[in-house]
Amino acid sequence: MKNIRKILEDATNGICYDSYRYCADEELKVPTINYEETQSFTLLKDRYGETDTSLKHTKDLTKKAKQLSDSEPLFKYFLDGSRRTYKVDDIEINKRIFPIMAGQIGVACCERKNPNNFKCKELESNLVLSLPVEANPETRNTELFFNNLKEKINNTPRVQKIGLKFSNILSYSSKANVDSKELKYEHLGIAAIQDEMVDSEKKIVANLTAKNLLNEDSYLLKDGSLQYKPMKTGEYKELSKIKNNYRCVIGVSKLFNPEFSKDRSGKSNAALLAKLPLYHRTPAYMFQHEREKWSYLGDYKYSVWYVRIRDSKHTESPFAGIVKIEKILITENENENGLESDLIDVITSNIINERNPVCYGKDSRWANHLYPVYLTELFLKSKYLSDIHFLNLF
C-alpha cells in the first residue's frame, strides 16, 4: 500500500528521509510585545487618518460607549483565521534537501444574532501540503503537476478511509531563500501555508459581501490586521480589486508592535500609548503600502488607531488592554481626508462595549481579547484534527 511519502517520492523523483515529524508552531505562552512584527506599510506623514483634525491627544469615549450600549451592537460577524503547520518529512530532490511541510488551515466567520445565539456562518477548513517548486521534475505545467499529485494523495486508501481530502498542494520558490532574511526552507513552506490562509480569509469576506450581509448596521470584525501583505499568487492577490469588500470590515489586533505606533510627524508614540487612559482612543493615523515596491497594486490606504479597553491597573503590561483598530479607506474622500471621526467613535465605542465577557484564565491575552473573536478562535481550533492524527497520515 502506497503511503503519501511514497507517492511524493515517485512523483518528484526524490528520496524521503523518514525524519522526525512534528508540529512546527510554537504555541504562544506569554504575551510579549511583538517587536518582530514586519511592517510593509508606511505612515503618511502629516496626513490625518480622520476628518476631525483638531484631535491632538486622546479622546474619551466612556460616555459614547455607555450611550451605545443600549442599542444593537454594530458588529454582527466575526472572522478569524488560523493555521497549524507541521514538518512531516525531508525530501531529497536534485541533491538538495527540502522539508515537506503540511498544514491545517481554518478560517471561520461566526454570526451573532443575539447575545445568546452565536453560530458559525462560514467555515473554510483545509488540509494542505507545501513543497518547493523543484518538486515538479519538469519546468512547465507546475499547476497541473501539483494538482495531479493532490489527486494521487487523495486517492490513497489511508486518506480515503478517514474521509479526508487535501485541498491544495502549495509550492514555494526556493529562490527566495537567497535574498530574503528567511533562512530556512521551513519558513518558506509555512509562509506559503500562511498565504493560503489569508486567501481563505479574503474569500470569506468576498462571500459575505456577495450575500449582502455586511452593511452599516452589521459590520464584520476581523481578528488581526487588515494590512495584507501583497502576494504574488492567490485568487485575491489584487487588493485594490477586492477593496470594496471591506467597506464594513474592521481589523482588530490584540498584539502589535508599539514601535510602529507613530504620531503624525512620524515620531514614536509608544510611551504615550502606554499611558493611554481607559476608554480613550488615539487620533487615527493614515498608513499606506510601501509605495515604490507595490505601486502596481494601486492605491491602498488605512486608518489606524488605538483604544484602551481595560484599565492598566488590572493588566500585566502597559500595552495589555489596548487594541489596534484598522479600517481600509475606500472612497476618494476617505483617501484624501481620512475616515469620518464620528464613524471612528462609533466603531471604537462598540469595541469598548465588546470588552466583556473575558477569557481570563483561559487565554493569557485576555486583556486584549474580544470574546466573540475568542469564541470564533475556539470554534476553529475544535475543527482541527489532533496533531497525532494529522502527523500519522504520512
Partner 1 sequence: MKQIGKIIATEKVPTTVDEFFFWTDKELIIKPFDVVKVNHIKSSITFGVVEEISHLTDNSSFLAGYISSDFGDVNYQQYTQRIGMNYVRAKVVGNSQGIYTPVLDGSFVSLASEDDIREALGLKDIKNPLPCGYIEMYEQPDSVTIPVHFNSHFLIGPEGAHLNISGISGLASKTSYAMFLLKAIQDQYIEKSKGESVAFVLLNVKGRDLLAIDEINEELTSDDKSIYKMLDLSTIPFQNVKYFYPYSKDIVSSTYGRDVKSQMELNKAFLYKYIFEDDKESIDLLFSNVDDPNQTMESIVNYIATGQGGFNGITNWNELLNEVYEHTKAGASGKDKEITVLSWRKFYRLFRKTIEKTTIFSNSISSKPKDNETRLKEAILNIKKNDVFVIDVAKLDEETQGFVFGDVMRSIYELKLGQAYDRNEADIPSKIVIFIDELNKYASKEVPKSSPILRQLLDITERGRSLGIILFSAEQFKSDIHDRVKGNCATHAYGRTNAIEISKPDYQYVPPVYKSMLTRLKQGEYVVQNPVFRSLLNIKFPRPIYKQFKNG
By CB under 8 A, name the binding residues for partner 1.
Answer: 69-70, 73, 75, 112, 115-116, 118, 314, 353-362, 371-372, 375, 378
Return the closest-CA partner of residue 251 out of 283, 221, 230, 229. 221
**Phi then psi for 333, rounded to 5 degrees?**
-60, -45
Distance, in Å, from the CA atom of 391 to the CA atom of 381, rounded to the nearest integer, reads: 16
Return the closest-CA partner of residue 250 out of 279, 228, 229, 219. 219
In the complex, the smallest distance separating the C-beta of residue 157 from partner 1, rounded to whole angstroms, is 22
C-beta of 245 vs 349, nearer to partner 1? 349
In the complex, the smallest distance separating the C-beta of residue 70 from partner 1, rounded to whole angstroms, is 8
Distance, in Å, from the CA atom of 126 to the CA atom of 306, rounded to the nearest integer, reads: 33
C-beta of 74 vs 88, nearer to partner 1? 74
Distance, in Å, from the CA atom of 61 to the CA atom of 73, rounded to the nearest integer, reads: 16
C-beta of 64 vs 202, nearer to partner 1? 64
In the complex, the smallest distance separating the C-beta of residue 314 from partner 1, rounded to whole angstroms, is 7
Task: Considering only the C-alpha atoms of the chain, give the largest distance between any 2 of them, rounded to a whole number of Å.
Answer: 71
In the complex, the smallest distance separating the C-beta of residue 110 from partner 1, rounded to whole angstroms, is 10
Distance, in Å, from the CA atom of 197 to the CA atom of 168, rounded to the nearest integer, reads: 12
Q: At 163, list the grid cell.
A: 474521509
Distance, in Å, from the CA atom of 378 to the CA atom of 360, rounded to the nearest integer, reads: 14
C-beta of 17 vs 371, nearer to partner 1? 371
Give the pairing type, strands 59-60 and 280-281: antiparallel
In the complex, the smallest distance separating the C-beta of residue 371 from partner 1, rounded to whole angstroms, is 5
Q: At what angle do helices 142-154 and 4-12 cross, to 10 degrees?
A: 150
In the complex, the smallest distance separating the C-beta of residue 358 from partner 1, rounded to whole angstroms, is 5
C-beta of 159 vs 358, nearer to partner 1? 358
C-beta of 63 vs 314, nearer to partner 1? 314
